[in-house]
Structure 1
Amino acid sequence: MDQDQYGADDRERLVAEPPKRVDAPERTAFERDRARVVHAAASRRLAAKTQVHGPQVDDFVRNRLTHSLEVAQVARDLARALGGDPDLPETAALAHDLGHPPFGHNGERALAEFAEGCGGFEGNAQTLRLLTRLEAKTFDEAGRSVGLNLTRATLDACIKYPWPLERASAPSGSHADGSPRLVVKFGVYADDRPVFDWVRRGLGHERQCLEAQVMDLADDVAYSVHDVEDGIVAGRIDLTRLDTEALWPTVRRWYLPSADDDLLDATLAGLRGVGTWPGSPYDHSRRSLAALKNLTSDLIGRFCGEVQQATFAASDGPFRRYDAGLVVPERTRLEIAVLKGIAAHYVMEAEERVALLARQREMVTELAETLLERGPDALDPAFADDWKDAADDAARRRVVVDQVASLTDASAALRHSALVG
């Protein structure tokens, strides 16, 4: 899609920027947004944050950064196949996990409990806060940080849950990393509401824009396929020997509560019909690894191709913002859920992970409480400045949440060791 089809409102920034130097490479507004996210310090920190397993566990398994890169590739390819702009959903995919704290959704749960007194915590709401406040690049005339100063269309594409805490539904099910969904899903904290309202100006609904829908689906597709791949290489999953009698209760408990055995059997049969589905166990040889890579490629192509066809059948476009919506066929939804259920059953519910998750939550909570007690002398300089500017106890608690959320798994453990012991 020609980016000229996006209007001035779509390309508007919180702070107007002068034209770039005439000798600088010519880039569109959305290409510039993508570059800003790629070069952000928060993006680099994703390499040391948990996806499913901690980044120190194995050289093969995904961390938050490699996962985000894979989501970005899927999002870009799907958007291009739809004839839409590829830069917007790719940037949203690169940014979608920036707000995650150390230890993934498990750390998110601990911070949400700690932040009950200051408006809660949610990884996606933290992403918006980071992009528009915490990641330093641009300041407004009053001297306030506006973060990376991204365009309205890019920020809207990054908003996965376009509603505040008070309009959020009760959580249910489980995350891909095995932790239960106990955190309420919302997209903006109360003190970030002005920028959220600026992004969503003129919209009288809580729908995701198309680019956010593409990012959201790409995230689902990527981790449904890649978590299974990681589990196979780790020796936990053998796709030639799935115990459906034990597997289907997990799938129902986590993802498809109303699906009966016949539906799940049929869904698995459809997946097994993919030409590269393995006929023999993974043996760590190059040929076996190549076959596994071909399977993941075919599954991603299958899911995205089906979504593309269904979306084209439902609309003539144009496929941008709120002119059209993404259509996910029921078969695609079921197959993605079954793959996630396979990873859940054989990887996420392993007993050794349960004790580890509990210890991680304890560490995050103890660190946050200690920082709240110690105040600015225990905070990084930028957050110490925020503490000094905070108007009340709730605002100071929010500063501590921002500090802890910014840490990687390793830096959180080190900070905990130094401050708590």
Structure 2
Amino acid sequence: MSSPRQSETIPVVEVLTPALQLPAGYEAEDAERVVPEQHSSIRSDFARDRARVLHSSGWRRLAAKTQVLSPTAGIDFARNRLTHSLEVAQIGRELAVSLGLAQDVVDTACLAHDLGHPPFGHNGEKALNEWAADAGGFEGNAQTLRLLTRLEPKRFAPDGTSIGLNLTRATLDASCKYPWSLSEAPAGSGKFGFFADDEPVFRWLRESAPARVKCAEAQAMDLADDVAYSVHDFEDAVVSEFIDPEILTSRSGHSSLIEAVSEWAGGSYTTDELGAAYDRIAESSNWLVRWDGSRRHQAQLKNFTSDMIGRFARAAIHDTLEAADGSPLTRYGASIVVPREVRAEIAVLKGIVAAFVMASGRRQPTYRRQRDLLLELLEVLWESDGNELEPAFADDYRAARNDAEAKRAVVDQVASLTDQSAIAWYKRLCDVPLV
């Protein structure tokens, strides 16, 4: 693969020094950066990527952003986006070891995968997407790429353009869960990997990649995210008493629950498949029949999550290696294979949490207040002509060539906020007491 072509928005110069020894299966172009760098330390390019994400301000902010329950809710044991990302990285690294993928590439992609999420999780994502509908919308994964390649201050191109963390091509590609634009997104999904003005860097990182195909490292990150999301959110929902194991065990309203899970999964599985998946999960020796918060029950629940993680990972590793038949998996060598039965089991755990937490009637007023808060905050910031934005975002606002670019600067500002800072900004700028 040749070096990337010169671009007005992505200036690239010749490689200055040879890369350190790369892991087996990786080539020099995988370690290329938009702007090449010289370093004196012995750290590998991929290890350097990982360190840059860990030391970024965007990553630290994840500690105060919603995973399922907001850090502002007063439940101090529930996961936030940062602890979730650490758990995803742990699972992803183990998958990488077993599958022969670069551990630092998968680890970094896992650490970075939620960087673009705004305050209040997916609920906040909906609010930002609604407000920016006429400016390209909003999608957390596309925002992750924007943050890594533009917003997070670390490196600049020769023309003074911010290029974010200037990560390697392999790491950026591994962080891209949806390698397509909004116009190319599957009908009804709303999921895409880059905004229009970030297309040049997307084209660079995807140079010679098969269209719309995730590299194996991104697939490993995606699987690790699914596994962590399914088991750990279930655990948090039990501990916070949104889910009562006795109701699950008694099968009270079981048919309705499976129907709700099926609806949440978008009809990807039949109710028979989901019912059978539920039965397999409930056969675990650590399945809780009741919850009293005792250390014994806490340990049993923790061991249940460990059982499920091991079960899902082992099945995927076995089927992936069997399908690869000795071929290297790195980059686009092969695909991660997850048995349909396992995907159904993951969908069941996710769907149970969705039914008892996200779709819970008692949560809806909170979700509405969160969306209204962000929508009003966005509007006030827009009307301020950039004067209330932080300096970096204010510079972007003033440099905007049209309303769409100016709105994007406002969205970038709000997306960067934590749950607590969004509330504080709302109180300061909107002058409306929260009820």
Tell me the TM-score normalized by structure 2.
Answer: 0.90
CA distance in 1, matches of 2:342, 2:399: 49
Aligned residue in 2 for 1:336: 346
Selected match of 1:298 from 307, 322, 329: 307
Selected match of 2:87 from 56, 59, 70: 70
**How is 1:252-271 mapped onto 2 (pairs within 5 angstroms)?**
252-255=262-265, 257=267, 259-271=269-281
Aligned residue in 2 for 1:88: 105
CA distance in 1, matches of 2:246, 2:369: 34
- Contact persistence 1:128–1:187 (CA under 8 A): yes
Measured against aligned partners, the alpha-carbon deviations of 1:142-187 in whole angstroms (never above 9, x if no partner) come to 0001000000000000111101111112335xxxxxxxxxxx1111
Note closer, same or farther for the CA distance 1:371–1:210 as it changes in structure 2 (3 Å cut).
same
Aligned residue in 1 for 2:295: 286
CA distance in 2, matches of 1:417, 1:251: 37
CA distance in 1, matches of 2:280, 2:430: 52
Q: Give the deviation of 1:413 after TM superposition.
A: 1.0
Aligned residue in 2 for 1:180: none
Aligned residue in 2 for 1:112: 129
CA distance in 2, matches of 1:274, 1:388: 58
Aligned residue in 2 for 1:29: 45
**How is 1:351-362 mapped onto 2 (pairs within 5 angstroms)?**
351-362=361-372
Aligned residue in 2 for 1:59: 76
- Contact persistence 1:101–1:404 (CA under 8 A): yes
CA distance in 1, matches of 2:271, 2:368: 33
SS in 1 for 2:72: coil
CA distance in 2, matches of 1:130, 1:261: 39
Q: Give the deviation of 1:107 after TM superposition.
A: 0.9
CA distance in 1, matches of 2:305, 2:379: 43
How many residues end up aligned between the 2 structures? 405
**Root mean square deviation, CA, Å:** 1.5
Measured against aligned partners, the alpha-carbon deviations of 1:100-136 in whole angstroms (never above 9, x if no partner) come to 1111111111111111222111111110000000000
Q: Give the deviation of 1:260 after TM superposition.
A: 4.6
- Contact persistence 2:177–2:214 (CA under 8 A): yes
Aligned residue in 1 for 2:60: 44
CA distance in 2, matches of 1:66, 1:100: 14
Stretches of structure 2 lacking an aligned partner (at least 5 in a row): 1-20
CA distance in 2, matches of 1:121, 1:143: 26
CA distance in 2, matches of 1:323, 1:262: 35
Note closer, same or farther for the CA distance 1:297–1:119 as it changes in structure 2 (3 Å cut).
same
Q: Give the deviation of 1:305 after TM superposition.
A: 0.2
CA distance in 2, matches of 1:264, 1:197: 39
CA distance in 2, matches of 1:333, 1:363: 36
CA distance in 1, matches of 2:334, 2:147: 29
Identity %: 54
Measured against aligned partners, the alpha-carbon deviations of 1:22-67 in whole angstroms (never above 9, x if no partner) come to xx4x211111100100110000100111111101220111111111
Task: Check if 1:205 corresponds to 2:214.
Answer: no
Stretches of structure 1 lacking an aligned partner (at least 5 in a row): 173-183
**How is 1:154-169 mapped onto 2 (pairs within 5 angstroms)?**
154-169=171-186
**How is 1:171-186 mapped onto 2 (pairs within 5 angstroms)?**
171=188, 184-186=190-192
Aligned residue in 2 for 1:374: 384
CA distance in 1, matches of 2:291, 2:259: 25
SS in 1 for 2:214: coil
**How is 1:184-223 mapped onto 2 (pairs within 5 angstroms)?**
184-223=190-229
